[in-house]
Amino acid sequence: MPGLLDATEYTFQGEGITASFFPGGAGGPISEGRPETFFVYQDQHLSRTYGQAGVDIQEIANVGALVSVILVETPIAGGPVTTFTVIVPSVGVTQGSPQSFRTRSITTVQAANLVPRVDFPALQSYKTEQLDGTASVHPLPL
Give the integer Cα–Cα distance in Å for 70 and 117.
23
Q: If you count them, how many residues does the chain have?
A: 142
Q: Which of 43, 33, 38 is nearest to 10 (CA)?
A: 38
What confidence score (pLDDT) does residue 1 get? 39
Q: Residue 53 carries which DSSP code?
A: G
Q: For residue 61, count other CB atoms closer than 10 A to its CB.
A: 8
DSSP of 66-80: EEEEEEEE-SSTT--
Q: Of 73-87, 96-110, 126-140, which gets the smallest average pLDDT?
A: 73-87
Asked if residue 89 has pLDDT above 90, the reply is yes
Q: What is the pLDDT of residues 58-82, one digit of tens each?
A: 999 999 999 999 999 887 777 788 9
Per-residue pLDDT of 5-56, as tens digits, reads: 688 999 999 999 999 999 988 765 555 555 688 999 999 999 999 999 999 9
- Please give the model's pTM, rounded to 2 decimal places: 0.83
pLDDT, position 47: 96
